[in-house]
Structure 1
Amino acid sequence: MSVRTESSAAHRAGFACFVGRPNAGKSTLTNALVGTKVAITSNRPQTTRHTVRGIVHRPEAQLVLVDTPGLHKPRTLLGERLNDVVRTTWSEVDVIGFCLPADQKIGPGDRYIAAELADIKKTPKVAIVTKTDLVDSKALAAQLIAIDQLGKELGIDWAEIIPVSAVGATQVSLLADLLVPMLPESPPLYPEGDLTDEPEQVMVAELIREAALEGVRDELPHSIAVVVEEMLPREDRPADKPLLDIHANVYIERPSQKGIIIGPKGKRLKEVGTKSRKHIEALLGTPVFLDLHVKVAKDWQRDPKQLRKLGF
């Protein structure tokens, strides 16, 4: 009789994605699971535009998290493209986590997504109640019942319903424990040390964009795009004192927005540079010289040519 040892147990690896309306806590959850900052987070809706993959490494499994933009009824061409990205991703992953914040009643936005999810038959779906640190146990229980009910109404058979708080790290590793068995048996898909497969330039652009979003109110967040033009090691530097030159453009839609981003006497842009540089240096592990310029790309969200140029 052969006893199967722990080390010979089948290794699992596969893809999971978190869906939910904008600002449902998807990116924060990705970061909590991976244990480092890979997805851009902001308390403004619709800040994730790239499919950022965070990778959770475990001895027995590798869980690759695909963070999609929030699905919403599109108002612009950019919105339509983002929704297409979401649906394509859903059909390709091994498990879908539907994020619903504990502190907000299920609304039309959630129902819209749930109805779309109901059409995807094969993929297991887990309902994740996020932001549980913001409610008491009575409100949480009511939300769990409402989610169960939503599934019944639409014919979704939830594989699990799990409450988590990414901020307090409550039940985050339990969530990974529940997702892993839903992955196919497979060797690791990425090398041990990788946390994401996003190209570095994309991640650097996201960090700059996140810093640029902070403190900017009203409609500006959706009008900001960042393109890293080049990243080059500074020549003539000694090996023990490297410096990476990064030249990036922050694009906005209208000349009137330029002053908001730059701030009085350039103060705001300087803060954006200082803040994002710290995160970039931590990400790349090297000192960075960051050269930022603000440019106008008129109505880029509605122009297919500009969207392509800005990477969408």
Structure 2
Amino acid sequence: MSDNTAQTPFTSGFVALVGRANAGKSTLLNAALGQKVAITSPVAQTTRKRLRAVINTDSSQLVIVDTPGLHKPKDALGKELNRSALAELEDVDAVAMLVDATKPVGTGDEWVAGHVKACDAPYKLLVLTKADLSGPEQMASQLEAARALLDWDDELVVSAKTGFNVDSFVELVSRHLPEGPRWFPEDMSCDATTEELVAEFVREKAFLNLREEIPHSVGVVCDSIEYARDHASIEATIIVEREGQKGIVIGHGGRMIKKIGTEARRDIERLLGRRVYLDLSVRVQPAWRRDQNEIRRLGYDAGE
């Protein structure tokens, strides 16, 4: 007797999250994945590297691609971040454009939507974020303005912070994936190395604790990780552009760099599942944001 039970086809694909700076892309990625891999802060250009998070089910694999916020660039780093974000639109199965529910839809959103409209992705989703911070009237007004940007295939209102409609986002995009293979192993949650995640966690804490323009001048590289039976010893370097910035990062009596290290260590310990000894140093690299070689060395370039 033959088995006529129809097998559910396995689907897989990539969805790129795009939008203006601080639209909530990294926060949505973390919420969808159920763990923190992408860093977040109120500072523009927090996301500098493309990050792919992998969500597996028995019948599908959804790869969510976080991209730097699109913005008007002021230096070589800004141009590279825009290039990196726009490059992700070239070969994905879906694009989710995130629009902040708390900020008026403007020319920046129109510019991003123009790139989304021009890309070949077969499924284009409007995601209105930060629903927890917006009232009903503001939400309705924002939706109306965002609908006018493009002829969207779907729209969704979410709050990644409270979890509202995060599962719906994953289900909605997953329904529009083509048949395909598992692109990544089932036990892989993201495509960043441990060293890259460590550097990003340190940079996030620097962004959250430093004032004014200094965060934009900060880069971080993880120099080494040594594993022992019950702990890990990590060395990382915070890179700034001027001697005065170095003093601010270190702080009076070393208080600021200690605070950055203490806060970063908590995230790193959750990541590694063990105690961590974190040794931070600060190095001055003048005008590194204008140096293409330094941008590449720090991994902030768009790649080929």
Partner of 2:71: 72
Q: Distance in 2 between matches of 1:148 and 1:243?
A: 51
Structure 1 residue 276 and structure 2 residue 264: aligned?
A: yes
Partner of 2:275: 287
Structure 1 residue 93 and structure 2 residue 97: aligned?
A: no
Cα 1:71–1:286 change in 2 (3 A) is same
Structure 1 residue 199 and structure 2 residue 193: aligned?
A: yes
> 1:126, CA displacement in angstroms?
0.4
Q: Distance in 1 between matches of 2:101 and 2:176?
A: 24
SS of equivalent to 2:127:
strand
Partner of 1:113: 112
SS of equivalent to 1:10:
coil
> 1:88, CA displacement in angstroms?
1.5
Partner of 1:253: 241
Q: Distance in 2 between matches of 1:78 and 1:191?
A: 32
SS of equivalent to 2:73:
coil
Partner of 1:220: 214
> 1:177, CA displacement in angstroms?
1.1
Partner of 2:254: 266
Once structures 1 and 2 are overlaid, which stretch shifts more, 58-67 or 29-38?
58-67
> 1:64, CA displacement in angstroms?
0.7
> 1:209, CA displacement in angstroms?
0.6
Length, aligned pairs only: 299
Structure 1 residue 300 and structure 2 residue 288: aligned?
A: yes
Cα 1:121–1:272 change in 2 (3 A) is same
C-alpha contact (below 8 Å) 2:89/2:121 kept by paired residues:
no
- Paired letter, 1:189: W
Query: Among the aligned pairs, what percent are the same residue?
Result: 39
Q: Distance in 1 between matches of 2:110 and 2:167?
A: 28
Partner of 1:176: 170
Partner of 2:157: 163
Partner of 2:27: 28
The Cα offsets for residues 26-80 of structure 1, whole Å up to 9 and x where unpaired, read as 0000001000001111111110011111112222211111111011122211111
> 1:194, CA displacement in angstroms?
1.6
> 1:4, CA displacement in angstroms?
4.2
SS of equivalent to 2:90:
helix
The Cα offsets for residues 13-38 of structure 1, whole Å up to 9 and x where unpaired, read as 11111100000000000001000001
The Cα offsets for residues 119-177 of structure 1, whole Å up to 9 and x where unpaired, read as 214442100000011112222122212111221xxxxx311011011111111111111
- Paired letter, 1:80: K
- Paired letter, 2:215: P
Partner of 2:80: 81
SS of equivalent to 1:100:
strand
> 1:274, CA displacement in angstroms?
1.2
Partner of 1:16: 15
Q: Which runs of 5+ in 2 are unaligned?
A: none
- Paired letter, 1:181: R
Q: Distance in 2 between matches of 1:80 and 1:121?
A: 23
Give RMSD over aligned pairs. 1.6
Q: Distance in 1 between matches of 2:35 and 2:203?
A: 18
Once structures 1 and 2 are overlaid, which stretch shifts more, 87-96 or 30-39?
87-96
> 1:122-161, aligned counterparts within 5 Å?
122-151=121-150, 157-161=151-155
Using structure 1 for the length normalisation, give the TM-score: 0.91
Partner of 1:208: 202
SS of equivalent to 2:53:
strand
Cα 1:305–1:41 change in 2 (3 A) is same
The Cα offsets for residues 171-190 of structure 1, whole Å up to 9 and x where unpaired, read as 11111111012211123222
- Paired letter, 1:192: E
SS of equivalent to 1:150:
coil
Partner of 1:187: 181
SS of equivalent to 1:192:
coil
Q: Distance in 1 between matches of 2:174 and 2:114?
A: 25
- Paired letter, 2:292: P
C-alpha contact (below 8 Å) 2:94/2:121 kept by paired residues:
no
Partner of 1:154: none
